[in-house]
Structure 1
């Protein structure tokens, strides 16, 4: 079964402490970034590019009110695993080429090129929030909190990802996704650890019943 883009945007919001979230706003016309905005974007990029491995527990808050929990693993660049706790049948693995979404109840996994998913923002080799394919739509601040909202440069109407950072210490604490239909998903991270050694097998998906597709670079 193939999952539509809205489902993927809903599923792949990842990282945070919910109390730090500011009320989400609908994506609107982009305003020019101030010098302070640009400096904060550079600071956020440097922080994210400094992450190699990360492990954390997470809570995902879906638009319909459902709450799921699990364990998240990152190994940058290119690798991620979202291991949802039972009774959720979902497993999400990024193996460097594809984001693989496997619903064990449905059986057939979905393979989505990693670069075309929100997850690609976190695990790409060189994070550029205001680069060729992404654009910062808004930077907002609250006491001790920095919010950076990002859209696709060529199709901003598809949705918006907001990364929320704490200032002391400076760390990513939330990822919210506003999709094209106006639905918002938030995931909370806690018990975060970084810099540890992770088993490469965590980022491999193997099922003899299914064949991994070839990545089309063209």
Structure 2
């Protein structure tokens, strides 16, 4: 389905914060009390996420500074995603091989982050779970939308992932990542095509620093 300022600067910041926080013992995140109805919706969301292994969509990204960018996103679970931004935005994000690589061609800068240290990695798991090793920290259902926020229970300082679904079709509308500094990047999807065959090479990682 970017807290990318676009998606990756925020992820890079989250990784920097995590390195500091790893030296400290993180407090367990505070989960919310879910009603029986809430739990039913979580089950529907899990089912919807796990029924889709590939998709392509147009996207609009809003970063923490209020900048809007557009592009195309491809996802293939487990573990692969590509966000290609429309010109003149010089950005590319590719997730594959257990890492997220963000490339800024204008700055000639590449950022590499382990997949399991980013909130985005929760969406790319082979089996997406809203329980097990994640904690639900927010839930809302109103205006035809269902929104759920989760963090990794063992490392909440890595940041949070919020997923927003249409309730009539239980389909993914948007996701947002909040980094350790509280900076949010939201990606909203349009013209989603799921169950497609994605061309070989789509998830080839950009060249990375030695």
TM-score by length of 2: 0.80
Give the deviation of 1:9 after TM superposition.
Answer: 7.1
TM-score by length of 1: 0.77
Kept in 2: contact 1:10–1:184 (CA 8 A)? no
Q: Which runs of 5+ in 1 are unaligned?
A: 12-27, 212-218
Q: How many residues end up aligned between the 2 structures?
A: 189
Question: C-alpha separation between the residues in 1 aligned to 2:150 and 2:178?
Answer: 10
Q: Which runs of 5+ in 2 are unaligned?
A: 1-7, 15-28
> Which residue pairs with 1:8 in the alignment?
11
Kept in 1: contact 2:174–2:186 (CA 8 A)? yes
Give the deviation of 1:158 after TM superposition.
Answer: 4.9
Answering whether residue 200 of structure 2 is matched by residue 197 of structure 1, we say no
Kept in 2: contact 1:10–1:62 (CA 8 A)? no
Question: C-alpha separation between the residues in 2 aligned to 1:186 and 1:113?
Answer: 20
Answering whether residue 191 of structure 2 is matched by residue 188 of structure 1, we say no
Answering whether residue 146 of structure 2 is matched by residue 146 of structure 1, we say yes
Question: C-alpha separation between the residues in 2 aligned to 1:42 and 1:157?
Answer: 26
CA RMSD of aligned residues (A): 2.4
Kept in 1: contact 2:95–2:115 (CA 8 A)? yes
Question: C-alpha separation between the residues in 1 aligned to 2:114 and 2:201?
Answer: 20
Partner of 1:191, secondary structure, is strand
Give the deviation of 1:35 after TM superposition.
Answer: 2.0
Q: Which runs of 4+ in 1 moved over 6 A?
A: none
Once the two structures are superposed, residues 157-187 of structure 1 have per-residue CA deviations (whole angstroms, 9 ceiling, x without a partner) of: 5543221111111101121233333333222
